[in-house]
Amino acid sequence: MSVNAKMDSNNRPTLIGTLNSDGLTIVTGYANPSSHALSISDGTSGSDNGNNNGTANLDDNGVAVCCAESNDGSGTIIEIYFDSSHNLLIKSS
């Protein structure tokens, strides 16, 4: 079953990312409906399941997963990983 970003009434997509365990599966991000805080997993080391050759995964509607620029100075665009509980993986310093 494919996961697609939900769209609001202005056709703006919800947050989607890539599953950290396989680097391919699209996962929706979750937020608390009362606080509007994004669900996260802090202090995680993440994983390196590739970067799809620098091309962001797209859902069936053509919405790209979240991406960021690599912090190694290379300028490489990398996909943002979520875990199977829909938590954004972060590493705070």
| Angle formed at CA 84 by CA 48 and CA 7, multiple of 5 degrees | 105
1 vs 62, residue with greater confidence: 62
Per-residue model confidence (pLDDT) at position 51? 60
Number of domains composing the chain: 1
Please give the DSSP secondary-structure letter assigned to residue 53: G
**Residue-range definition of the domain harbouring residue 37:** 1-93
pLDDT digits (tens, 9 = 90+) for 34-93: 998 989 888 766 666 666 666 778 888 889 888 888 888 888 888 888 888 999 988 776
Q: What is the pLDDT of residues 4-43, one digit of tens each?
A: 999 999 999 999 998 888 888 899 999 999 998 989 888 7
pLDDT at residue 58, as a whole number: 87
As a whole number of angstroms, the distance between CA 91 and CA 93 comes to 6
Distance CA 88, CA 84 (A): 10
Name the percent of the chain in helix, strand, coil, to the closest 5. 5, 25, 70
What 53-58 contacts at long range (C-beta under 8 Å, 24+ apart), as own/partner pairs, is: 57/18, 57/24, 57/26
Q: For residue 87, which phi and psi values (nearest 5 degrees)?
A: -90, 130
